[in-house]
């Protein structure tokens, strides 16, 4: 898998985005949040970074008019749309549900059910997706024009 430049570029870009999340929390909040390595949401969008890095690599290697680039670019657009749409909405719904459950926690405790808070960092803002997209382009260009030349 790591001998395939396109897959390597996508995975590298995704991993770099996750590292950026950990570092930015360390700098801004002065705490080490290793759990962010494997979690969704936040700045930049690692999903966007990964799929755009793949699409960009394919565009550079196979040509911007190739069928493979068209498929990769379409997939990237679907992923980015989903991150700002459905997944973002699910995260907002989870925030509201957490407030409701907290307010009604006395009812759940009477039934013997302890409720865990739902995960709210699911989707992305447009800025997070754009940052991930730009990072994916930069990583793909670095791999293609610096590492492979």
Across 10-19, 48-57, 93-102, 112-121, least confident range? 112-121
Contacts 24+ apart (CB under 8 A), 73-79: 75/51, 76/48, 76/51, 76/52, 76/133, 79/47, 79/48, 79/51
List pLDDT tens digits, range 83-117: 877 666 666 767 777 677 777 666 666 566 666 66
pLDDT band of residue 74 (cuts 50, 70, 90) is very high
Using an 8 Å Cβ cutoff, are 12 and 139 in contact?
A: yes
| Cα three-residue angle 142-84-79, rounded to 5 degrees | 55
Global pTM reads 0.76
Would you list the domain boundaries of the chain? 5-84+124-147, 86-122
């Amino acid at each position: 898998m790591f001998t395939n430049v396109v897959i390597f570029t996508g995975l590298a870009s995704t991993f770099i985005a996750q590292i950026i999340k950990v570092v930015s929390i360390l700098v801004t909040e002065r705490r080490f949040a290793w759990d962010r390595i494997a979690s969704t949401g936040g700045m930049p969008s690692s999903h966007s970074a990964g799929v755009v890095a793949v699409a960009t690599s394919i565009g550079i290697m196979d040509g911007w008019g190739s069928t493979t680039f068209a498929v990769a670019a379409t997939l990237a657009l679907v992923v980015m749309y989903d991150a700002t749409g459905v997944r973002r909405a699910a995260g907002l719904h989870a925030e509201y549900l957490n407030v409701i459950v907290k307010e009604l926690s006395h009812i759940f405790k009477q039934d013997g059910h302890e409720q865990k808070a739902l995960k709210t960092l699911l989707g992305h803002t447009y800025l997070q997706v754009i940052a991930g997209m730009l990072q994916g382009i930069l990583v793909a260009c670095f791999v293609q024009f610096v590492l492979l030349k």
